[in-house]
Structures are given as structure tokens and as C-alpha cells.
């Protein structure tokens, strides 16, 4: 097995957004250095780390970056395979290629999950109008047409309530390969943030219960209202996914829970996850520190929770309420250092804590 990156070592982070910023902070909390690579001029993560501005196509810059660090990770799942190719000769990439491949294509993702016995919504790949008609005939409406790749926060998605919605939905894909997913009537959405070490050890945080609005996460509450057996099953499914991918690092697994307590995986994200931000205040090893520990081959930390928590995203101009939130009893305010509060942009979050 590879050697641990000891205190004083350097963690390379691909991507400079808020997840990269919080990963860099976690590295510093553990006595490690962070080095961020991103194409933007002054991304949020650059405030708290060494920073290289470089394009994803710039193989020489990527190689120089990789030579300057001890391990490379990423804050977004759409890292191109060519970037991994450029980096991997000089530093290990964790989580690795299998996790990225499984998460970058919705058809591959669901095929992988079903292959290890994990239930998902019914789905069918769609490339054209005939394919969509056939898929709709098999899966039925309501359903959601999504691009196979590069979707996030509800982008690249179109709802189909009946056959009459099919042409507009297909047009919304703009020619990109797509997948039709059957609509799952769910009682709630939950997610599990779990980590796996290179030694195979797995540590799952308690499931959070999520509310989305317009495709964007609104809030996550722990504990979830799910029955204890359902919560345990969610953690076990996350563990099965991690093992099947020979995964090293933190993963986010989003579930639909039906009224009967059945769990279907909606999607997996091979990275720290917005629905795990509550762990910063409510656990001893939050998801960011846990991810750094895992990719540096340190023993995983204890994921147990010492408080109840509700995390709420601050989207667009909601972060303008920082004065009120600064003083709110029990509230931990986080802002990401983004200059411009565009609509739909995640500007920060607030975690409201109470004794468990």
C-alpha cells in the first residue's frame, strides 16, 4: 500500500469553488498544506491555499502542479479524463478513475449501481425522438429527461408529464446524449456522506434529510425522519458502493425513500457534498477533514454526531442577511467569499445547531 502523506505534506485540489475552499481549510486544520488548481482568476479557494491558475487543457501546467503536491483530489465530479492523465504520472489521484467514470455519466452510474444490486429509478438512454418515444412507452410518465453528462443543480433537465412534453424536453438537451428517468414517488430525500480509507475501512455520517427547490438544495436536517432500519440500510448501501469502486475518500450518495421505506439511489457524487456541510459543527471529524484524512491515507476519524443540525443554503442575495445571521442564536454562518451574488449561486450556508 502507498505511504501516508504526513503532516507538512501538500494536498492538491482541482477546482477552486467553495468545496475546494473548505477542503483547503480542513487540510490546514490537520497540519497539511493545500495547493489549488483552477482556471478562474481569483476563485474562493485561492484565499486559503497556494494557487495555480491554469486551464484544464494545459497539460504542462497540470504536470507542474502535480509535481508540487503529494496527492491530488478534486471538488467536482466532471474532471476530464485528460486531466487525470496529465496529473497521475506525478501524484496519485484520489478518489480514482473508476469513481469519476461512474459518476460522470448517468447511464453508466445507474448501470453500475444496478449491477451491484442497488436499486435506482427505471431509466433508458435517449439519443433522438424515436428513442425518447420508446423510452417513454417503457418507463411511462411522469419522467425526467436529463443530459447523460455535466448536469448539476437541476441544469440540463426537463420534466415530461406526458408525450406532448417530449419535443420540448428533447430540444432542451441541445443535441447532447440523454437519459430518461422514471419519476419515483418518494416520501423524502435523504443522503449519506461516507468515507472509505485505502485499507477498506468505511465511516458513514448519519443520513441527512434534504429539501430541494428548483433543483437546488435548500436544506439538510439531521437526524432524518427515516426509521432507524432505513438509516442503517442507507449507510450499508453507501458502503457497498464504496467497496465496489475500491474508493478512497468521501462520497455523497443521494437517495429517494419511498413511503414504504424502500431506498433508491438518485445519484452519487465522488467528492464532499453540499448535504454534508452540517458535519462541520456537529461532528469531531467533518466531511472535509475526513476526506483529507482518507486521501492522505490517515486512519479515518469518528463520524459520530454530537449535536442535531439543520443546514440551509444561502442562495443568491440571501447571503445579504449576514448581519442578522451573524447574531442568530445557535446559528453557524458560513460565507464563501464570492463577490457577485448571481441568482441561483450558492453564496454561503448557515447551520443551526441544537443539543442532540
**Which residue lies nearer to its own copies by CB, 31 or 80?**
31
**With respect to its own copies, which residue has the nearer C-beta, 7 or 142?**
7
Give the orientation angle of helix 106-115 with respect to helix 97-104, to 10 degrees.
Answer: 110
Q: Is 293 in the site for its own copies (CB under 8 A)?
A: yes
**231 near its own copies, judged by CB under 8 A:** no
**Residues linked to residue 145 through DSSP beta bridges, in sequence order:** 158, 180
Judged by CB under 8 A, which stretch of 80-88, 131-139, 155-163, 297-305 contacts its own copies? 297-305
Pick the stretch among 44-52, 71-79, 89-97, 147-155 that binds its own copies (CB under 8 A).
44-52
CB 191 within 8 A of CB 253: yes
- Contact (CB, 8 A) for 118 and 265: yes
Near its own copies in 243-282, by CB under 8 A = 281-282
The DSSP annotation for 136-187 comes to HHHH-SSEEEEESSS--TTTTEEEESSGGGHHHHHHHTTT--EEEEEPP--S
Task: List, in order, residues 6 or more apart from 228 with CB less than 8 Å away.
Answer: none
Spatial distance between the Cα atoms of 211 and 28, rounded to a whole number of angstroms: 31
Find the shortest distance in angstroms from Cβ 251 to its own copies: 19
CB-nearer residue toward its own copies: 151 or 301: 301
Contacts of 287 (CB under 8 A, 6+ apart): 193, 195, 205, 250, 272, 273, 276, 277, 279, 280
Q: Is residue 75 a contact point for its own copies (CB under 8 A)?
A: no
Residue 307 interacts with its own copies (CB under 8 A): yes or no = yes
Smallest distance, its own copies to C-beta of residue 133, A: 49
- Does 306 bind its own copies (CB under 8 A)? Our answer is yes
Residues that bind its own copies (CB under 8 A): 4, 6-8, 21, 24-25, 28-34, 47-49, 281-282, 284-285, 289, 293, 298-302, 304, 306-307, 319, 322-324, 326-339, 348, 351-356
Amino acid at each position: 500500500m502507498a505511504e501516508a502523506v504526513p503532516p507538512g505534506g501538500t494536498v492538491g485540489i482541482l477546482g477552486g469553488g467553495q468545496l475546494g475552499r473548505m477542503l483547503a481549510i480542513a487540510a490546514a486544520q490537520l497540519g497539511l498544506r493545500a495547493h489549488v488548481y483552477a482556471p478562474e482568476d481569483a476563485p474562493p479557494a485561492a484565499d486559503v491555499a497556494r494557487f495555480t491558475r491554469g486551464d484544464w487543457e494545459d497539460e504542462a501546467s497540470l504536470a507542474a502542479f502535480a509535481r508540487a503536491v503529494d496527492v491530488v483530489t478534486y471538488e467536482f465530479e466532471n474532471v476530464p479524463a485528460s486531466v487525470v492523465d496529465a496529473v497521475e504520472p506525478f501524484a496519485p489521484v484520489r478518489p480514482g478513475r473508476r469513481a469519476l467514470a461512474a459518476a460522470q455519466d448517468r447511464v453508466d452510474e445507474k448501470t453500475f449501481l444496478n449491477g451491484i444490486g442497488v436499486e435506482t429509478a427505471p431509466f433508458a438512454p435517449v439519443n433522438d425522438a424515436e428513442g425518447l418515444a420508446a423510452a417513454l412507452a417503457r418507463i411511462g410518465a411522469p419522467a425526467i429527461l436529463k443530459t447523460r453528462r455535466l448536469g448539476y443543480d437541476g441544469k440540463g433537465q426537463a420534466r415530461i408529464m406526458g408525450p406532448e412534453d417530449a419535443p420540448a424536453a428533447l430540444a432542451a438537451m441541445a443535441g447532447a446524449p440523454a437519459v430518461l428517468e422514471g419519476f419515483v414517488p418518494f416520501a423524502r430525500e435523504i443522503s449519506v456522506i461516507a468515507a472509505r480509507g485505502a485499507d477498506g475501512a468505511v465511516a458513514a455520517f448519519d443520513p441527512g434529510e434534504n429539501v430541494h427547490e428548483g433543483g437546488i438544495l435548500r436544506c439538510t436536517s439531521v437526524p432524518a425522519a427515516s426509521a432507524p432500519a432505513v438509516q442503517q440500510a442507507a449507510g450499508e448501501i453507501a458502503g457497498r458502493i464504496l467497496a465496489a469502486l475500491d474508493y478512497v475518500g468521501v462520497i455523497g450518495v443521494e437517495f429517494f425513500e419511498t413511503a414504504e421505506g424502500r431506498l433508491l439511489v438518485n445519484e452519487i457524487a465522488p467528492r464532499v457534498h453540499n448535504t454534508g456541510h452540517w458535519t462541520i459543527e456537529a461532528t469531531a471529524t467533518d466531511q472535509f477533514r475526513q476526506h483529507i484524512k482518507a486521501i492522505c491515507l490517515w486512519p479515518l476519524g469518528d463520524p459520530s454526531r454530537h449535536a442535531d443540525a439543520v443546514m440551509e443554503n444561502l442562495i443568491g442575495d440571501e447571503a445579504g442577511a449576514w448581519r442578522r445571521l451573524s447574531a442568530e442564536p445557535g446559528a453557524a454562518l458560513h460565507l464563501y467569499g464570492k463577490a457577485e451574488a448571481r441568482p441561483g449561486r450558492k453564496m454561503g450556508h448557515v447551520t443551526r445547531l441544537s443539543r442532540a
